[in-house]
Amino acid sequence: MDGRCICNFLVNSPKGTVFLSSVDTSDMFKTVDKVFEMLDVIVERIEEENVVQVVIDNAANYKTAGQLLMEKKKSLFWTPCAAHCIDLILEDFEKKLEVHQVTIAKERRITSYIYSRTIFISMLRHFTKGRDLIRPTATWFATAYLTLGCLNDHKMQLMAMFTSKQ
């Protein structure tokens, strides 16, 4: 699905989070009006009295659409997605701090080297007792930092692996 943009709509209740629907927005111009219209349709579908909060992307068009939605639907609030906020912070770290750029580049070289060779993957799992280094997350930049944490957590096992006779 490279190059596709999907908006997922989830509903959270005391019984848990449930997937409601997806909209392929790849060919949609995501103007404030279009985003507002998309959100409004979902709120109407669920019924306004059942909606307390709408959590959306932090992009300017989504923020403005969220404000418009609050003006129209007086009983609900919109908030920016915390995961997206954190991802933007981590992206800034990587782009603006050279030590982060260098460290993450090294981390990617190490993990690419290991994961591109089947024998190293097997050895890694043996030395780390089945643990992987790469922990995919919803966001690209968080993945880099979580992987750095795994490399650090398994530093001794990785050193043992690379110095082993195997």
Q: pLDDT tens, position by position, for the chain (166 residues)?
A: 456 788 888 888 888 888 888 888 887 777 899 989 999 999 999 898 888 888 888 888 888 999 999 999 988 988 888 877 888 888 888 889 999 999 989 988 988 899 898 999 899 989 988 888 875 555 666 777 778 888 888 899 988 988 988 8
Half-sphere exposure at residue 81, Cβ-oriented, CA atoms within 13 angstroms: 13
Q: What is the pTM of this model?
A: 0.57
